[in-house]
Structure 1
Amino acid sequence: MILFALPPAPLLTLALLVWLLSGIAGWILAGAARVSSLISGLGGILASAAVILAATRILQSGTSVTLVLPVLPFTAELSPLNALLLLAMSVTALFSSLYACAWLANAHQRKRARTGLLCNLLLAALSAAAISASATELILMMEMAALCAYFMIVQADDVKSRRAGLNQFLSGRLGTVCLILAFALLHHAGGSLSFDVLRHTPFTTGIRSVAFLLALAGFGLYAGIIPLHAWVPQSHSSAPAHAAALFSSTLMKIGIIGILKVGLDLLGVPPLWWGLVVLLLAILTAFIGGLYALMEHDIRRLLAYHTLENVGIILLGIGGAMVGVALNLPVLASLALLAGLFHLFNHGLFKTALFLGAGEIEMQTGIKDMEKLGGLARLMPWTAVAMLIALMSMAALPPLNGFASEWLLYQSLFQLSASHVFIARLAGPVLAVGLALTGALALMCIAKVFGVTFLGAPRCQAAADATPAPLAMTLSSVLLAFLCVIFGIASPWIIPHFAAVAASVLNIPALQAAQNGAALTPVSAVSAPMVAILLLAMPLVPWVIAGVLRGARLPNRLRGEAWACGYGHSADMVVTATGFAQPLRVMFAPLYRLRQRVTPDALVGALHQGWLGAFCRRLAFIELAVLLVVAFA
């Protein structure tokens, strides 16, 4: 009860301290598996709940304040945008911490100690970054979070993990250098690194443009914008599953919000070409991310590429808002930003459910390669249901939450095509077609992942011997899938809250986005509850008709094996992940070969020499130690 009475600032202080102390306590007590895992996991759950409560109160107030957190010497900016980012991160962090309660108990002692500490430190650093009131605090906290991610990636200590860690380390340091240069330029021109001062400082056109491009590159490296995405796929595969979920739902989201803050908040009204650059990068990231996902057999690498796809979809909303502000089209700006922010939140729900479900499969079978799985729907039914719902949401199928946010994004692209500027009228239909193609790729991904992994016959003994995952792990993915359903069906009542956040960023009246249970835009309206009712009711109609019209029941027919053209059916005849994606591999061969041309083997071999990886590992340890000392000081 005391927790519910606290205002946002003390709640955030409590969360940061609980994350830190529970991580340290779990690390110290790592020898006692059950105690250590409960301390780390339950500490994460408590801290996430405190942040959810604080973020909800900030959103309800609708005001922005800058203050120093109690106890901690940290200046925080509590605004609706920051609160929405906190809410999106903490909801997924809560379920990842629930998953960790079971995962850590089954991990090796050394891995349990490191992962429990690093995950909680990652969440504390990213939460602090989300409410930073100055560029110094933001860069410091992002750097600390990136180093925590690095050590979680390399702890497997195999060749792939070491390569993934080196990619992530170099990408993160390059991103930090770009951000330091961007804000150093703004500090030189404006005399301050405080966000509140930067908002009210008039910069010349040249300084604004150079700072924006540097910030776009820096935050884009964290967000994984293609072609700055090299660290993303293998990093998500090498880290523990719940840590990979946090990479997608928290670490990369900080990069996205950073682009939003620089492009729409700190530097004033953006010129048109800023928005067009973001839109171009967004559609390339979405389409190529979805295309490369279909070629993957490692289920977590596949999900990582789909994270890139969704990063592109979110950036379509942000880029559309920048174009709307540049062209003085408030309806377009409001609708596009609303769609981007809503999809940012929704992506955290379904992608975390997918990564946690993949982690359950990996833990119960020891396999990440979909080619070796199959038949898991009968052996792990709750995991299968949760992942099917999350996959459908990822593919934007109604009435789930992914559909609700992408539908709003389509409406914003239609608004863009109605603009009075030729380039905007041209971009609107092209981007809408690109988004539709991306959706088609996501639909194919449902068939590939669910069909190859959960249906058919098991392709190896480990898959045939699979059993349901521990209750905490299964519950985490099932509850997230349930939230995907809730946020889809209830979207007409949820969207106005996101519209208010978008309005606070743009400093314009909130878009009237919901009325009488239907989400409204200037183009069209859709009632998600009615869609859900129809989807549930229509399959029942044939059963009702059959029950009314059928006569006496015929005897049951005998069932034999599936017809296989006269041959005996075997597991080898089942469709594989390779065979499923082969037509696309042929159709888009030039795009798939592009990766080898851009990153030739000679360059990759020179980059991944053993001495460089060892040097970066020692450097990362020293840097993290220094940052912790600086943060505490």
Structure 2
Amino acid sequence: MSAFMLIDLAVLLFVAAAVLALLFSFHRGLSGLLAGVGGAVACGMVIAVAAGLLTGRTASGESAVLYLPQLIRLTPLNAVWLLAIALPGFFISLYNVAWHRHAQVKVNGLLVNLLMAAAVCTIVASDLLTLVVMAEIMALCGAFLTGCAQSGKLWFTQGRIGTLLLAAACWLLWQRYGTLEITGLAARFVDEGPGTAIWLLWLVGFGMLAGIIPLHGWVPQAHAGADAPAAALFSGVVMKVGLFGLFVLPLLAGQAMPLWWGLGLLLLGAVTAFVGGLYALMEHNIQRLLAYHTLENIGIILLGLGAGLTGVALGQPALIALGLVGGLYHLINHSLFKTLLLLGAGSVWFTTGHRDIEKLGGIGKRMPVISLMMLVGLMAMAGLPPLNGFAGEWVIYQGFFSLSSSDLFIARLLGPLLAVGLAITGALAVMCMAKVYGVTFLGAPRTPEAANARRAPWLMTASVVGLAVCCLIGGIASPWLLPLLSAAVPLPLTTTSVVSQPMIALLLIACPLLPFIIMMLFKGHRLPSRSRGAAWACGYEHEQSMVITAHGFAMPVKEAFAPVLGLRKRLNPVALMPVWQHAAPALVRRLALVELAVLVVIVISRGA
């Protein structure tokens, strides 16, 4: 079966699973089972197509298919994004089967599978109009999954602004070039680039969907109150599709792209990464905290891809390769470890009913497997070896070193500064890792719900374990996996390294083990003679209230960066537009439903 037919069948299966989930919504368990199994099988098909494209077993090209009302465009670059959304989608679908067993959970199989179908169609679209329409359908499905009228209203309003900007950009492109076909535009951009006005409209429109700061208002709101599978879809799928749409235009422009496009993306990435990491450290709602860390990692991906685009404008092959490969690898890695963390946090909520980490504590003893997997995910998020978060960031660092050796003064200046900024962001991530794991999983329970926590259902646990294994493989096997991404970079990449790939893998494994080996050598003989006693508290009896809290952990950083943190209140998107506060949430949801229905009818009518 061809790759085009597999994509066609995968989208058809997503839609069929969505319809079946709706038809059997009166039976929560059956609806979740049909939606989850159908979504998982469809994601498996998409993963197979992406793997074939990256390994060279499947040829690139465009083709019409039987069921989809659009031409399908498959390239190695598309394959990276297909892999980045289908891998988390597979585990989210399986997890969602068990999620439906909770009495407070609403049936979501219809929206989850429609969102995945629209996301796949966005990435394989052969023209920009279809890309924008499918991204709009995906975003509307996401707005209904937020679980909160206020956050859904904010997302809907921001999304309509973004859609208007993208529609204006498409109209300007049509007026100038007479086509919106991706291949046709690529040929015309050789002589003349798209221009500043079109790029700015495109950047802001898809920047809102991708969550680039300061266009990120919907991201923490949507994550905070959403169900865990929905929040994982926002981070692992929706925002990644926003990045895909954003980078379509500059990649088509190629050498016609101005240098300031790449440099601007580098600066936006640096701001997004730092501010996202800083705000995350201040949060106590674990899903809102992870949402801000998603913003941080969106910034890191922007740093890598922005470095690659800067290399395109400067004509530097090494910078193109390092920037694009590092950014694309981190794109996939972030989808994996952030989905792991959000699903792990959902498992904790499933048994305790709390998302506030101050109300947890001691979860590690009651949910040992989830606790260990969350530690793996947090270490990956902090960029620690041998996990996958380290590999992509390391390649991006190499890209900054290459940027600093450029002949252009601004590039030589930005290279070291961006490397230092990324290092500071990494330090914030390590602090957040210690805060989340220490406050949530260690110590004594702070509430009766935490004390009575039980193990999550086996399918939830299996999904989280599978994601943790992927994170470990993505780090240890990075010497073999990174070269596969060279197919997505339009350069003949070769290596002259004298270090073997197995040796690099062994070094990655040895890095985290080395401190423990040294400890055993110097203190191993003293361990059997240890004695246990009460904790010393300056002469006072130790009480559980004396342990450090999440608020106290973040206080030094909060005081140091008070001016930056104050911007969150002054630039609140809801406060800036008071009309949102008074608009009826039910009216907004009805408008979103009408728009979604109209777009679906248009898509179906095109295929009729």
**1:608 aligned counterpart, secondary structure:** helix
Could you tell me which of 539, 546, 549 is aligned with 2:516?
Answer: 539
Q: Provide the residue aligned with 1:623 in structure 2.
A: 595
Indicate how the Cα distance of structure 1 residues 468 and 513 shifts in structure 2: closer, same or farther if over 3 A, else same: farther
Q: Provide the residue aligned with 2:569 in structure 1.
A: 596
Q: Provide the residue aligned with 1:73 in structure 2.
A: 69
CA contact (8 A) 2:81 2:123 kept: yes
**2:100 aligned counterpart, secondary structure:** helix
CA contact (8 A) 2:255 2:313 kept: no
Could you tell me which of 18, 29, 43 is aligned with 1:23?
Answer: 18
Q: Distance in 1 between matches of 2:240 and 2:446?
A: 37
Q: Provide the residue aligned with 1:87 in structure 2.
A: 83
For residue 531 of structure 1, what is the amino acid of its counterpart? L
Q: Provide the residue aligned with 1:582 in structure 2.
A: 555
Q: Distance in 1 between matches of 2:206 and 2:528?
A: 66
TM alignment of 1:193-204, pairs within 5 A = 193-202=180-189
Indicate how the Cα distance of structure 1 residues 274 and 45 shifts in structure 2: closer, same or farther if over 3 A, else same: same
Could you tell me which of 493, 498, 505 is aligned with 1:510?
Answer: 493
**2:415 aligned counterpart, secondary structure:** helix
**1:333 aligned counterpart, secondary structure:** helix
Q: Distance in 2 between matches of 1:601 and 1:498?
A: 40
Q: Provide the residue aligned with 1:121 in structure 2.
A: 114
Indicate how the Cα distance of structure 1 residues 12 and 555 shifts in structure 2: closer, same or farther if over 3 A, else same: closer
Which moves more between the two structures, 6-15 or 584-593? 6-15
Q: Provide the residue aligned with 1:383 in structure 2.
A: 370
Does 2:312 match 1:325? yes
Q: Deviations over 1:90-128 (max 9, x none)?
A: 01000001110100132458x21xx11100100000011
Indicate how the Cα distance of structure 1 residues 212 and 514 shifts in structure 2: closer, same or farther if over 3 A, else same: farther
CA contact (8 A) 1:492 1:515 kept: no
Q: Distance in 1 between matches of 2:509 and 2:194?
A: 50
CA contact (8 A) 1:198 1:267 kept: no
Query: Alpha-carbon deviation of 1:334?
Result: 1.1
Does 2:134 match 1:147? no
Q: Distance in 2 between matches of 1:187 and 1:73?
A: 21
Could you tell me which of 506, 524, 536 is aligned with 1:529?
Answer: 506
Which moves more between the two structures, 58-67 or 131-140? 58-67
CA contact (8 A) 2:43 2:89 kept: yes
**2:282 aligned counterpart, secondary structure:** coil
CA contact (8 A) 1:402 1:488 kept: yes
**1:165 aligned counterpart, secondary structure:** helix
CA contact (8 A) 1:376 1:466 kept: yes
CA contact (8 A) 1:12 1:51 kept: yes
Q: Provide the residue aligned with 1:50 in structure 2.
A: 45
Q: Distance in 1 between matches of 2:528 and 2:227?
A: 53
Indicate how the Cα distance of structure 1 residues 532 and 602 shifts in structure 2: closer, same or farther if over 3 A, else same: closer
Q: Distance in 2 between matches of 1:430 and 1:554?
A: 48
Q: Provide the residue aligned with 2:393 in structure 1.
A: 406
Q: Distance in 2 between matches of 1:87 and 1:448?
A: 31
Query: Alpha-carbon deviation of 1:260?
Result: 1.7
Q: Deviations over 1:229-266 (max 9, x none)?
A: 00000101222111111111111011112222111224
**2:73 aligned counterpart, secondary structure:** strand
TM-score normalized with structure 1 length: 0.92
Q: Distance in 2 between matches of 1:565 and 1:180?
A: 66
For residue 295 of structure 2, what is the amino acid of its counterpart? L
Q: Deviations over 1:202-251 (max 9, x none)?
A: 48868422211111111101100000000000101222111111111111
Q: Provide the residue aligned with 1:522 in structure 2.
A: none
**1:321 aligned counterpart, secondary structure:** helix
Query: Alpha-carbon deviation of 1:63?
Result: 4.2
Q: Provide the residue aligned with 1:523 in structure 2.
A: none
CA contact (8 A) 2:154 2:218 kept: yes
Q: Provide the residue aligned with 1:397 in structure 2.
A: 384
TM-score normalized with structure 2 length: 0.95
Q: Which gives a bigger RCO, structure 1 or 2 (Cα 8 Å, sep 6+)? A: 2
Q: Distance in 1 between matches of 2:132 and 2:573?
A: 32
For residue 151 of structure 1, what is the amino acid of its counterpart? F
Consecutive unaligned residues of structure 1, counting only runs of 5 or more, are 1-5, 520-525
Q: Deviations over 1:152-200 (max 9, x none)?
A: 11xx4xxxx2221111111111111111111211111110111111101
Q: Provide the residue aligned with 1:32 in structure 2.
A: 27
Q: Deviations over 1:54-98 (max 9, x none)?
A: 111222337430111223332110111111111111010000011
Q: Distance in 2 between matches of 1:255 and 1:118?
A: 18
Q: Provide the residue aligned with 2:416 in structure 1.
A: 429
Indicate how the Cα distance of structure 1 residues 517 and 206 shifts in structure 2: closer, same or farther if over 3 A, else same: closer
Indicate how the Cα distance of structure 1 residues 395 and 273 shifts in structure 2: closer, same or farther if over 3 A, else same: same
Query: Alpha-carbon deviation of 1:606?
Result: 3.6
Does 2:152 match 1:130? no
Counting matched residue pairs gives: 604
CA contact (8 A) 1:398 1:528 kept: no
Q: Deviations over 1:573-612 (max 9, x none)?
A: 111110000111110010011122223885354421143x
Q: Distance in 1 between matches of 2:523 and 2:553?
A: 36
Q: Deviations over 1:311-338 (max 9, x none)?
A: 0000001111111111111111111111
Q: Deviations over 1:524-570 (max 9, x none)?
A: xx9243231353365245546777x78xx97774x232112222222
Q: Provide the residue aligned with 1:442 in structure 2.
A: 429
Q: Distance in 2 between matches of 1:258 and 1:123?
A: 16
Q: Distance in 2 between matches of 1:151 and 1:378?
A: 36
Q: Provide the residue aligned with 1:174 in structure 2.
A: 161
For residue 492 of structure 2, what is the amino acid of its counterpart? P
CA contact (8 A) 1:388 1:450 kept: yes
**1:77 aligned counterpart, secondary structure:** strand
Q: Provide the residue aligned with 2:150 in structure 1.
A: 163
Q: Provide the residue aligned with 1:419 in structure 2.
A: 406
Q: Distance in 1 between matches of 2:428 and 2:476?
A: 24
Consecutive unaligned residues of structure 2, counting only runs of 5 or more, are none
**2:77 aligned counterpart, secondary structure:** helix
Q: Deviations over 1:22-52 (max 9, x none)?
A: 1211221122233222111111111111111
Q: Deviations over 1:411-459 (max 9, x none)?
A: 0000001110000000001111110000000000011100110111111
Q: Distance in 2 between matches of 1:308 and 1:28?
A: 36
Does 2:33 match 1:9? no
Q: Provide the residue aligned with 1:233 in structure 2.
A: 220
Query: Alpha-carbon deviation of 1:510?
Result: 2.2
CA contact (8 A) 2:269 2:302 kept: yes
Query: Alpha-carbon deviation of 1:284?
Result: 0.3
For residue 580 of structure 1, what is the amino acid of its counterpart? F
Q: Distance in 2 between matches of 1:496 and 1:239?
A: 37
TM alignment of 1:107-118, pairs within 5 A = 107-108=103-104, 111-112=106-107, 115-118=108-111
For residue 196 of structure 1, what is the amino acid of its counterpart? T
CA contact (8 A) 1:178 1:218 kept: yes
TM alignment of 1:273-312, pairs within 5 A = 273-312=260-299
**2:214 aligned counterpart, secondary structure:** coil
Could you tell me which of 337, 345, 359 is aligned with 2:332?
Answer: 345
For residue 485 of structure 2, what is the amino acid of its counterpart? F
Query: Alpha-carbon deviation of 1:271?
Result: 1.1
**2:565 aligned counterpart, secondary structure:** helix
Indicate how the Cα distance of structure 1 residues 42 and 316 shifts in structure 2: closer, same or farther if over 3 A, else same: same
Query: Alpha-carbon deviation of 1:140?
Result: 1.1
